[in-house]
Amino acid sequence: MTTLTEVPETAAARETPARRRRRVDRLPYLLLLPALVIIGVLLLWPLGQVVAMSFYRLNSVRQLRGDREWPWVGLGNYADILSDPFFLTVLRNTVLFAAANVLLTMVLGTLVGLLLNRLGRKMATFVASCVMLAWATPALTGTIVWKWIFDDTSGLVTWLFNALPDGLSNSLFGRSDWTGYGWFNSPLLFFAILTLVVVWHSFPFIAVSVLAGLKSVPSELHEAARVDGASPWRVFWKITFPLLRPVFGILIVLSTIWDFKVFTQQFVLAGGTQDRPTFMLAIYSYAEAFSPPPKYGLGAAIAVILTLILLVVTGFYVRMVLRQEDES
């Protein structure tokens, strides 16, 4: 009975707004207008400026103010950068760091997401709350705290290494007294600590997103597979992973973009822009542009190169996201 009365109503309801929508075609553009203006003026236009700047030799503030000429150098800045062996170091640092961090964040985040899904209610809430703390901590203070943990006199890590039996410490590392040891001095150690800080900040997002994805998957599938005797490894790759593929896709894109652009953590951990061996593209661009003597054009060219790399790396995923759009 109820279905009989409902059917014509919903049919009518579907029809009217559809017709309305066709009539008010301008509405979506109107709704988009403020966002378009803001993104256009504050992101796209300055980006265009940066691209333009990358074609000029800009070495003084007076040029920026327009008091002096901008000498056109065409692709000169790009040629300078690409022929500089230091650029290769920076590029290698950036790519290796981003790859390692995306991989570590994804693996740790996924494992923690799976774990949260299996834990009892109370335990899951407790662990999730702790994980939230790492996520919520601002990059600035989070990094300052890690810097304190690695302080060379009173830091926790220095103390831990000092607490190792001298013989063991000596045979492993060739020193027993760690007071005054510069944890940030060797590039490799610096990158290890930076990775620790970045992974600590970013795995919670992955974990919680994976958990939310898992919650939306019917648990019967997993149970059935487990009853059939499939190993957890097989269950993950044959059932969980395919179902969560879209979520993983988005998470990898976002992590890649974020990890290629790490700036604040590096800036704070290195104490500015003096530590050239540990430069990555984002901080390299900033340092070239601003540390005296300023080379704004060169800095702009590096930024353009970084943006292009990100576009290429993530282009594949952008296509995937759009395919999802079409399906929905």
Binding positions for another protein, 267-326, rule CB under 8 A: 267-268, 271, 281-283, 285-286, 289-290, 296, 299-300, 303-304, 306-307, 310-311, 314, 318, 321-322, 324-325
Query: Closest Cα partner for 75 from 48, 47, 49, 56?
Result: 56
Q: Given the complex with another protein, which of 42 and 88 has the nearer CB atom?
A: 42
| Residues 6 or more apart whose Cβ sits within 8 Å of residue 163 | none
Contacting another protein (CB under 8 A), which of 103, 189, 221, 250?
250
Distance in angstroms (rounded) separating the CA atoms of residues 285 and 301 = 8
Q: Given the complex with another protein, which of 61 and 171 has the nearer CB atom?
A: 61
DSSP summary character for residue 294: P
- Contacts with another protein: how many residues (CB under 8 A)? 112
Distance in angstroms (rounded) separating the CA atoms of residues 214 and 206 = 12
Joined together, the tokens standing for residue 247 give: 């979520």
Q: Given the complex with another protein, which of 153 and 170 has the nearer CB atom?
A: 153
71 touching another protein, by CB under 8 A: no
Residues 107 to 146 in contact with another protein, rule: CB under 8 A: 112, 115-116, 118-120, 123-124, 126-127, 129-142, 144-146
41 touching another protein, by CB under 8 A: yes
Span interacting with another protein, options 41-49, 75-83, 185-193, 234-242, rule CB under 8 A: 41-49
Q: Given the complex with another protein, which of 13 and 75 has the nearer CB atom?
A: 13
Q: Within 10 Å of residue 218's Cβ, how many Cβ atoms?
A: 9
* Contacts of range 214-219, beta carbons closer than 8 Å, 24 or more positions apart: 214/113, 214/114, 214/117, 214/240, 214/244, 215/117, 217/243, 217/244
Residues 74 to 93 in contact with another protein, rule: CB under 8 A: none
Query: Closest Cα partner for 310 from 102, 56, 140, 138?
Result: 102
Span interacting with another protein, options 46-54, 74-82, 83-91, 183-191, rule CB under 8 A: 46-54
266 touching another protein, by CB under 8 A: no
Tell me the closest approach of the beta carbon of residue 136 to another protein, in angstroms.
4
Half-sphere exposure of 289 (CA within 13 A, CB side): 19
Tell me the closest approach of the beta carbon of residue 200 to another protein, in angstroms.
7
